[in-house]
Amino acid sequence: MKLFDVTIIGGGPIGLFTAFYCGMREMETKIIEFLPYLGGKVSYFYPEKMIRDIGGIPAITGEELIRQLEEQARTFEPTIVLNEQVVGLERLTDGTFLLTSHNGEKHHTRTIILATGFGTLKSARLDLEEAEKYEGRNLHYTVETLKNFSGKHVLISGGGNSAVDWANELLPIAKHITVVHRRKEFSGLERNISNLRNSTATILTPFVMEGLSGEDDQLSSVRVKNLETEEIQNIVVDEVLVNHGFSIDLGPIKEWGLEFENSSIKVDSFMQTNIPGIFAAGDIASYQNKLHLIAGGFSEGPTAVNSAKAYIEPEKELKPIFSTNHF
């Protein structure tokens, strides 16, 4: 087996940019991604969603962001392994690590950078008995193609960032948007919530979805209930989008002996975990005053790389390198 300097577990935005920076430090790099393609949850959940919180990029779709990050990551030709979930970790007598994937494949590495996001994400399913027969038709848990909602009456259930963002995103193309949320207040960025409240969308709070009706596996109306008055309304719909959060599964990583904090891996300012030689970056990493932004992960990844470089070459002075160096 080839011995790599660093193996990045996770091929999402942070993993991709981290791989690029590994190349800048001339480290032999491997990326292992659970999905059959790169991009992580951005490619899986938000390919057409506009991302607006990266400095210097006013707005970019998730799909285009991943395309550019992948192109950048491939600059120094890292080894990329798809469709594999890392399940086993063993430290060998020489201090290196042996990783084992779910299919038995082995990976030999000096250091590990965990960039798994929150792990394997699955959308929380609508808890209604009749929901399953409409899933994959006009009951959705994410937006794969915006044009499918063009000219449609769309009902969105949820009150977090995703629900608010998708409502604002679909308003210009949909015939009408109805947002149903069990609480009176929404959670998310204040500007986005204000934009939604000042829009033409119908906002029903505190309401929940109570029943679904349709013909030939095509959903045509939703029954909603006011939690305070128990008032019932029937709403005719063309499409329904459910954003009730995600279930998170880190899988066997939880058994590796890493120190966790609030379902994330605790790291220090060098992105070092409690296991020497293992680092973390992005959503999976936890430290005081953590800000869960993609742009924040773009800083954490290179920090982890510099720390991995110092771990491999402890006799050398750690010199963080970046492309805008002028000395």
Q: Which two tokens stand for residue 46?
A: 């938000």
pLDDT single digits (tens) 81-92: 999 999 999 999
List of residues 6+ apart from 129 with CB closer than 8 A = none
The C-alpha atoms of residue 233 and residue 210 are separated, in whole angstroms, by 10
Q: Looking at residue 125, what is its pLDDT?
A: 86
pLDDT band at 52 (very low <50, low <70, confident <90, very high): confident
Domains belonging to the chain, first-starting first, are: 3-121+247-312 (3.50.50.60), 125-244 (3.50.50.60)
Place of tokens 């800000």: 291
DSSP three-state, residue 200: coil
The answer to whether the beta carbons of residues 49 and 142 sit under 8 Å apart is: no
pLDDT single digits (tens) 234-274: 999 999 999 988 766 777 888 999 999 888 999 999 999 99
DSSP three-state, residue 242: strand
CA triple 34-256-93, angle to 5 deg: 105
Nearest C-alpha neighbor of 117 from the set 256, 18, 307, 250: 250
pLDDT single digits (tens) 57-100: 999 999 999 999 999 999 999 999 999 999 999 999 999 999 99
